[in-house]
Amino acid sequence: MPKAKYEQIFQYLKEKIESGQYAPQALLPSEHTLIAELDCSRNTLRRAVGELVRIGYVQTMQGKGVRNIFEPAQQATFTLGTIESFAESAARNHWRGTSEILLFSELTANAALAAKTGFDEGTPLYYIQRLHYLNDRPLIFNHSYFRQDVARGLTREIAEQSIYRYLENELHLSIINSKRVVTVEKATLLDLQYLDMGDCNCLAVVSSQTYNSDGVMFEYTQSRHQPNFFRFQDNAVRRPVAQSRSV
């Protein structure tokens, strides 16, 4: 099943850049040239190039061209803008990722949990604690809460395989987007017990709220990362100051 054309072109150019087929700091072929070469419309090519800008591979300059600013060293550890499971992330970085379930339970959101997660108080939830290993080192402690009415029938056995595959393939849940916030927090006793913290007493925390196509937030996950193996990457562009519009 072939994907969208702009996505294919994006991947094609991305791999061409990564493999050094465009010289560093050099300009890519012009839009006109690439359109002819790839047999697509201008909009389609521009969309693909826009994605390359977002991931920091190129910079575009009106009147000049598109410059390759990719640098091999800085491979992203955790990517931005796309939802990726731990297994997918590990594979992309050529790591050996394994997981262990420490706790599988059911509970009801009390006031404190509701405030933290964004679920309504009284919502029945599954609560799962998972420990993720990269190359046999325990590096991520995961606290996940799933709404029972959405992730219905979730079991410890399923969680040991893949929760997302169950949600998408068995329950036909369509996962749309995930709001994520990165913060730094003091390590808890649980963190110190399970993660190899060295002499750090803080860790990187990625809190994410995930939504389905009904607009309901069905998952709240807090990923607590051992600091030395945490890396979050972004590319920002300079824009003129924003201004409102009267309609």
Partner DNA sequence: GCCGATTTGTCCGTATGTATC
Partner DNA sequence: CGATACATACGGACAAATCGG
Q: Is 111 exposed, middle or buried (0-12, 13-18, 19+ CB in 10 A)?
A: exposed
27 strand-pairing partners: 67
- Dig out the tokens for 88 from the structure: 């997918």
Considering only residues 19 through 48, tell me which ones interact with DNA, judged by CB under 7 A: 27-28, 30-33, 39-44, 46-47
Comparison of 31 and 84: residue with beta carbon closer to DNA: 31
Comparison of 155 and 183: residue with beta carbon closer to its own copies: 183
- Residue 57 to residue 231: CA distance in whole angstroms: 18
Comparison of 104 and 173: residue with beta carbon closer to its own copies: 173
- Dig out the tokens for 210 from the structure: 């995930």
- Residue of the chain from 87, 89, 118, 138 that contacts its own copies (CB under 8 A): 118
Comparison of 53 and 158: residue with beta carbon closer to DNA: 53
Select from DNA, its own copies, none the partner in contact with residue 153, using the beta carbon and a kind-dependent cut-off of 5 to 8 Å. Answer: none
- How many residues in the shown chain lie near its own copies by CB under 8 A? 68
According to the binding rule CB under 8 A, does residue 35 interact with its own copies?
Answer: no
Considering only residues 203 through 232, tell me which ones interact with DNA, judged by CB under 7 A: 213
DSSP structure string for 18-66: HTT-S-TTPBPPPHHHHHHHHT--HHHHHHHHHHHHHTTSEEEETTTEE
- Residue 176 to residue 194: CA distance in whole angstroms: 32
HSE, CB side, 13 Å, CA atoms: give it for residue 114.
9
Residue numbers at the binding site for its own copies (CB under 8 A)? 2-3, 7-9, 11-12, 15, 25, 37-38, 43, 53-54, 56, 59, 61, 64, 67, 69, 71, 74, 80-83, 118, 174-186, 199-204, 208, 211, 213, 215, 225, 227, 230-240, 242-245, 247
